[in-house]
Amino acid sequence: MELILASQSPRRRQLLEEQGYKTDVHPAQISESISTALPLDEALERLALDKARAVRPGFPDRTIIAADTVVVYDGEILGKPADDREACDFLMRLSGETHQVKTGVCILTPGMEITFTDTTDVRFRVLEDQEILAYTRSGKSADKAGAYGIQDSGFVESIHGSWSNVVGLPMEKVNEILHSLPKKGCTTTV
C-alpha cells in the first residue's frame, strides 16, 4: 500500500516503512497548536484530521496518515522543548516517574476519515543529572515530545501499551485499520 505521510517525522516514516508501506512524505503546513477548548484526546484527533485534510487537495486518490504525539505528566502537556534548558526541565520532572504518551491519528482515504487516540503509560528510571545534560546536549531532545525518544534515550524502565506509540505512531492499531479498509466508506471515528 502506498501512503502519504502528512508529517516530517523520520520516526513515523521509518515505522511505516518497516511494516512494508511505501511512504511519500508531505508535511502539512498548518499550526500544530493543540486546542484547549476540547478534551485532550479529541484535540489530538482534530489536529491530526486538520493535518490530513490540509494535504488532501494534492492527493485526492491516496490514503493519508497524519498524527500528533504529546507527553502528559501530572496533567500538563510536555510537547517539543523550546531549548536545551526546557528539555532538561522536562527530563528532570519525568525522572523516576510515570507519564503518558498520547498520539492522535487520522487515516484519511478517498471515502473515509478515521481518527483515534492511543495512550501508553511510560515509567522512567531515576536519571542522573549528567546523563540528562549529555542527552540534551547531543541534540536528541530537540524535536521530540517530552524531550526524549524511547528508541535512543535508555531512560525507560517500563511501558504499558504500544511501544511504537511512544515513538510516534501506534502501528498495531494503524495496521489493523489499514488492513481492514473497505473500497468504499463513510466518515467514522474509532
- Positions marked active-site: 68
94: region left, alpha or beta (phi > 0 left; psi from -120 to 50 alpha): alpha
160 beta partners: 121
- The SS3 call for residue 144 is coil
Q: Which of 29, 98, 40, 95 is nearest to 69 (CA)?
A: 40
Q: Judging by DSSP bridges, how do beta strands 63-73 and 76-78 pair with one another?
A: antiparallel
Q: All 3 cell numbers of residue 116?
A: 483515534
